[in-house]
Every structure is written in C-alpha cells, then in structure tokens.
Structure 1
Amino acid sequence: MDPSARPRRLLPAALVLALAALLALLVVPAQPARAYNASSSACALQGTTAYTDEGQQTDHTRFQNPIGTKQIGLIYVDFPDAPGTTLPLTSYYDTLKGATDWMRNASYGQTTLDIRAPYANRVHMPKNSTDYTWERGFSWSTHQVYVEDALTAAANAGVDLTRYDMFYVVPTATATAIGHSPTFIQDPASPTWVWNPRTGTWVTIHWAVTFGQDIWTWGYKVADHETGHTFGLPDLYAFNGNQYVGGWDLMGRISGPPTPSGPTSGDRVAPERHTSGAAGTTSHRPHRHGAAPHGSCRGRRRGSLALKPALVDRAASGCRPVRLGDGLYERRTQ
C-alpha cells in the first residue's frame, strides 16, 4: 500500500466534530447527544453529554471495553527544544508501572494493563514542545496532531503499532511546556491513521494517554485515572476544587482520600465499577473507602456524584442521597 495514500474517511466531512476538550483533561470530539438511558425510574441518572457521563450506556464505538488484558505501548518522546539526554529510561517506566497493580486490584482481576516499552530510547517529535499549544481546553484536533506525530515517530523507529490496543506517550522531563496529561479518545467519524512500516499498512489509533510533567506529582495513579477515561469514565471533580467525590474515587482527587497519615489510594465507587466491569464481583467483597454496594445502585451508571438540589428533592419519590466521603451518591430506599 502506498503510504502517501491515506484511507478515505467513511463518513462525510459535514460530520466533523466540534473541537473542544471535555473537562479539560479528557479530549473528545463533540457530537449530538444520544439518548442512552431509557429507564423510567425516578432514581435513574440521566446522561447529558453522551460521552463520559452519568446515566447512560457506554458507547463502545468510541470507548474500549474494560474487560480483559489491554496491550499498551509506552512511547518516550523528546523535542527539538527539549532533547532527552538521560538513559536508561527506567525512572519513567518505574513511575508508571504501578498502574498495573492498581487497575487489577480495583477491577478484582477483570482488567489487566500490560504496559510495554517497545523502543528503549526516545523518539523525536518534529516540532518544539511549545508548538503543540499544550494547555487545558485545547482542541481535539490539536491533540490529534500530537498523537499522530508521536506514533509516526515510533513507527518509523521500528515499533509495530498493530500490537497495541492503546498507547502511553511520555515526554522528556525537560519538556516543561507539556504540563498536564490529557486522554485522547477516537472519533469514528474522523479516524486517526498512522502509517506502520512494519506491516505496510495504515493503523487506526483509538486511544492514547499523553502524559505531561504532572506524572511526577501524581505518579502511576494518573495513568489509572486517564485510562479510566478510555473506558468511558468521567472526571468526578470540579475545576475550582475537589468538592465532588474528593479522593474516594480515583476519577475525583487522584491522590486519594485524606487520612491521619496522609492521602491514600482512591478506589472506584459502585457505578464506576459497573462501567469498568467489576460490579458483578463486588457483592461478596468489602466495599473499600465506603463505596455503596452495587446492588443498591439504581442510577446504574458512573460515579459518586455531587447531587444537585433537584436530585435531593427526589426523596419524595423513594430516593435518598447517601454521603460517601465528601461526595454524594443516589440510592433507593426499599
């Protein structure tokens, strides 16, 4: 196949997405909302964004199924204005490798992250780090360019992209312009293709976590948080603070809930377990950090929500809010 001839897009250009970052860290394209939740229950949580949201079925044309082993290619990158000089890259890998144990434990063995670094050196990005406009709220298309550049460089260095379900892209520590760690989510209407010389084919890139310098603050838990977005899990915090679920769910405060000896590792509350495939295994297990039993969940979707006053008013129809740490979760009284 001629690498200069990209595959034709399957859908008309009119369906090109509105480019916006979702909740600043999760970068997904915007499309018209879909009515996923058909429940007539007064306690059912209704989705509003049709992507990473509460109260809807996960759209697996966009997000990956969390069950099973996920093959993750770990790609190290540097830039003309931020060259990497230190080898080996052990400190980068060691910072992220704990994500495997956390995910396996949080999912009760349902999800395994098999993180491998197929190229033992950095690959070189074609632009300066400052040219990627790396700021919160940047567009999906800007993020797409970064992902394409990183994985094109990896493929040209000999990495076989077809072997991986998703990718972790890690910048050199000198690239201070790459600050935060957003997640790249595919848009089936605008596929992201990278030429793979190993197979002589175009490869569609579905998901990637593009780490920033905050990995040195959050450690491996930022990998678990961001990978959760590829399963369809939403952020459970507000950008003016951590007042929603706080640290009781990893999709809230990444550092975990506070304890007398300091923050501990956050877990997943019941609806998040439902989405991430571990809900069916929790009925006979202790519910760590106060998470409500799955059987009590009528919302059936993700997250220990900060309930709006309108939701609290549903008590008259048989629902009551139950406090989990510094967040709220809706359950039915029977």
Structure 2
Amino acid sequence: MKQNRPRIHGARRRRTRIRRPGDPRPGRRAALAITAVLLIVVTAPANSTGTTAAPTTLRAPALPGSGDGRPSCTLTPGEDVQLSEGIPTGPGYSRSTGPVHALTLMIDFPDVRGQGTARQRFEEFFPRTTRWFARSSYGRLDYRPATPVDRWLRMPRSFRSYGIERGSAFEPGYRRLVRDIARTADPLVDFRRYDLVNVLITPNAGPPAAETVLSVTFAGNLEAPVADGVRLANISFIYSRQDDGTGSFATNGYRVLPHENGHVFGLPDLYTADGGHKVGHWDVMSEDWGAGNDLLAWHKWKLGWLTPDQVDCAARAGDSTYTLRPLGRPGGGTKLVFVPVSASAGYTVEVRTDEGNDESVCKPGVLISWVDARLDSGKGPITVMDSTPRSRGCTEEPNVHQGLSDATFTRGESLHDARNGIHITVTGQDGGGGRRIRVTRQASDDGR
C-alpha cells in the first residue's frame, strides 16, 4: 500500500437516482479485473428460484494460514491498492478501538458566513454519531468528540479562493485550507490531544448535498501540514446538509460523518460509478442516506469490533455447520463466517435483522457477500449476493436501492458456487433469532 500520497475518499460519491418499480434497469458496467467468470446459483423452494450475476476470482491452490495450522480469516490486499478490504489494515489510519478523540471544528469564510450557530452545526452530528459508533462497535470504540472552539472559526480567505468542487484533489486547495485551519486554530487547540479531525463547514458553502456531494476524507496522508508537531493525516470535511426534502436530516442525515470517519479508520467506499448497486443499504460505506443502517460484519472484523471467537473460517473440505447470531445485537456468539476462496477473496456470511443501527431491514435473514481485497475503494470491493435477483425489493424507503433490500437468504435457500465447489445453505433458525447454516466445500486440487 502506497504511503507517499494522500488517500482521498468520499469526493466522488453522488446521490444516485433510486430505481422505482417499473423503471428500466440501468446497464451494468463490465466487471473489473476479470480473471474467470463464476456461475453462482441461488436455490430456494420451488416458487423462488433464480440466478445472480457472479463475482470474479481465481481458484487458489492454497489458502492463507494462521501459523498454527488453522485457516486464517484474513485477506491479502492486491498490489497498488490504496484502501483495501484486506486484514490487517495498513498503517497511517486512526485507531478504531478504545478511546478515540475526534477534534471537531466548525468553520466559515469571509464570503460565506456561518449559517446558524456553530453549536447548532455541531449538534446536527452529536451525540448521534457517538451513539451510532457505540452501537455498531458493541462499545469497543469509545468515540469522544471535542469542540474546544465553540464558535465559527473564520478562515482568512474566501471559500471561492480555495477552488473546492466535487472531486477536488488535496493539492492545492485542500492543502491551503488545512494549513489555514491549523494556523487559525493553533492558539486555541492542542492538536496533540486528538486522533482525527472533523471539519464541519457552514452548510451554505457549496451546493446542497442533493445536487453534489462535496464531503471528503483525506486518510493516511503523510504529506499533510503539521500542527503542534502532529501531522494532520486523517481529516474529514463535511459540507451541506444531507436532507432529501422529507426532513430526514433531523434523525439520519448525520450518518455522512460515520461514513467519512470510516475512511479515517481504513474502510473503502463500497459504491461505484453506478452508485450503490453492489451493496445497497447493507453498509454505511455504500449508502449513508435514508433510513438507518450499519456496517457489514467484514468491516466490523476489520475494525476490531468483532473478537476472534466471534468469527469462524470455513476453509476445510467437507460439511461445516454454524449458528450465527444477529449482527445488530450486542453480546457473544458467532457473528461472521468467512469462506475463503483465495488469498485475496472469499464469501462472508452474517445475519441481519432490524436491530441496533439496522432499523430499515425489511427482510431479516442471512446476508452473503463477496469480498475482493484486490479491488480499490470505489471499484466494488464487496458485492452482496442477491437471493431474489428478479425482485423489486421489500421496502418503500425512497433512498434505498430497493432491489437489494430483500437480498438475504432464509431457511431452505442456498448459494452455490460451482467453479469453486462451495455451497452455502440456510438450514434453520433457533428460538433466539440465530440462523443455522451449512457450508459445503469440495476438496481442492491439492486435497485441501
């Protein structure tokens, strides 16, 4: 992973048009990094069979090990991938467990004065963001926002002079802005006390979020300006208000900040140039507007929010059975089963219900996803396997990719990957809401 250039995330995100029932289905782009085409067959009771588009991978002759003979639930990132789904996360990002101190500054400009008070801007995001992280991490992330400057911090230059627009690079505009923030705040702030920086920009600077999303994160930036001897390497900028016109910002618009902070912790964007069609509303790194949603289990594992005893790795040939506990529910039990296919790709299996941050789940069940650590942020590193690829979904929420809302697998439904000899079946449910699954693997060419 390259460390000599800023990692820019979020700037290319756009509010995508949601396909309504009856609308023509958008054309699908060619798959990235094609090495082989798999046929994934979703089997179910007789009245609900179907097939879905396949991820791409090579069948690997051997899988990574933990060093003690057990298979490893990790992935090796691809070459020249800046922000990967690989585990462990590379250096340069903020820690994502324990106390994390988030410096939060509200800024305005001589030509764009603060809209409302700085405290009101702060309260658009807190304490909701803190509570979101507490629920999602099961208390393993103690997110502590601090706003030592409880007023608009006026920049020395006009907003126009920074030349900021959608997709702006760090040079030169953001470098100039970060330097001005550091110089202006320096008499009032000890930057050494903080792990990351949030910059909440007066919402009247730039276009509305419904038109263009400017919010952006620069993570692991070893070329960033220095303040108090600390390099401002992990910094998120939040613009506008993520309001879809229904007043939803009051309860859900704050989630643009958990999304941007996800980059600071090392998570990639899951949306692509076509929008959130690969993951939909199953992860805030794909869609962070509309009704509430959480992170995928793989991301919680990557962030250290799942413990090793909550993750099983189904790498051995033959049948393996597991009972998965709902991801949104605190407490122990297995929350993730990983089915590795190669050193850099595999399937994740988890249970999603309308608990915790997942208030919008309309079809509780087993969610199966394809993770490819060779694909960079914004290039589709995760694809949710849709158990009902021909359906229009089960939600009326206007800001959710509806076709994936009913992607979960239920009792009797299976995913079959013929090329890699993998069969994943939901076999039942226990009284506590846990789902039982069976993973069947054929032996590989070397007998594993």
Question: Normalised by the size of structure 2, how large is the TM-score?
Answer: 0.54
Q: Match for residue 12 of structure 1?
A: none
Q: How many Å apart are 1:115 and its aligned residue? A: 0.7
Q: Which amino acid aligns with 1:93?
A: F
2: CA distance, partners of 1:183 / 1:219: 17
- Sequence identity percentage: 25
Q: 1:73 aligned to 103, 120, 130, which one?
A: 103
Q: How many Å apart are 1:278 and its aligned residue? A: 1.3
Q: 1:272 aligned to 291, 296, 299, which one?
A: 299
Determine if contact 1:95/1:215 at 8 Å carries over to the other structure: no
Determine if contact 2:9/2:263 at 8 Å carries over to the other structure: no
Change (3 A) 1:229 1:39: farther
Q: How many Å apart are 1:138 and its aligned residue? A: 1.6
Unmatched runs of 5 consecutive residues or more in structure 2 = 14-59, 65-72, 244-248, 312-323, 341-345, 349-370, 374-379, 386-414, 427-437, 442-448
Q: Match for residue 24 of structure 1?
A: 11
* Higher deviation after alignment, 72-81 or 206-215: 206-215
- Name the count of aligned residue pairs: 279
Q: Which amino acid aligns with 2:183?
A: T
Residue-by-residue CA offset, 1:118-177 (whole Å, 9 max, x unaligned): 011111112211222222322123333322222321113x12212211111111122125
2: CA distance, partners of 1:160 / 1:243: 42
Q: How does 1:104-115 map to 2 (within 5 A)?
A: 104-115=134-145
2: CA distance, partners of 1:77 / 1:320: 53
1: CA distance, partners of 2:292 / 2:285: 12
1: CA distance, partners of 2:96 / 2:90: 12
Q: Match for residue 163 of structure 2?
A: 133
Change (3 A) 1:162 1:20: closer
Change (3 A) 1:322 1:21: farther
Q: Match for residue 237 of structure 2?
A: 210
Matched, 1:318 2:421: yes
Change (3 A) 1:160 1:39: farther
| SS of equivalent to 1:229 | helix
Determine if contact 1:236/1:245 at 8 Å carries over to the other structure: yes
Determine if contact 1:20/1:139 at 8 Å carries over to the other structure: no
Q: 1:295 aligned to 337, 350, 355, which one?
A: 337
Q: Which amino acid aligns with 2:270?
A: L
Q: How many Å apart are 1:50 and its aligned residue? A: 2.8
* Higher deviation after alignment, 101-110 or 172-181: 172-181
Determine if contact 1:63/1:232 at 8 Å carries over to the other structure: yes
Q: Match for residue 226 of structure 2?
A: 193
Change (3 A) 1:279 1:44: closer
| SS of equivalent to 1:90 | helix
Determine if contact 2:259/2:288 at 8 Å carries over to the other structure: yes
Determine if contact 1:318/1:332 at 8 Å carries over to the other structure: no
- Alignment root-mean-square deviation, CA: 3.6
Determine if contact 2:7/2:219 at 8 Å carries over to the other structure: no
2: CA distance, partners of 1:114 / 1:20: 24
2: CA distance, partners of 1:151 / 1:39: 51
Residue-by-residue CA offset, 1:199-248 (whole Å, 9 max, x unaligned): xxx33212111111145556221111111111111111123222011111
Q: Match for residue 63 of structure 2?
A: 41
Higher-helix-fraction structure: 1
Change (3 A) 1:222 1:186: same
Higher-strand-fraction structure: 2
Q: Which amino acid aligns with 1:24?
A: A
Q: Larger Rg: 1 or 2? A: 2
Q: How many Å apart are 1:318 and its aligned residue? A: 3.1
Q: 2:122 aligned to 93, 105, 123, which one?
A: 93
* Higher deviation after alignment, 175-184 or 89-98: 175-184
2: CA distance, partners of 1:145 / 1:192: 9
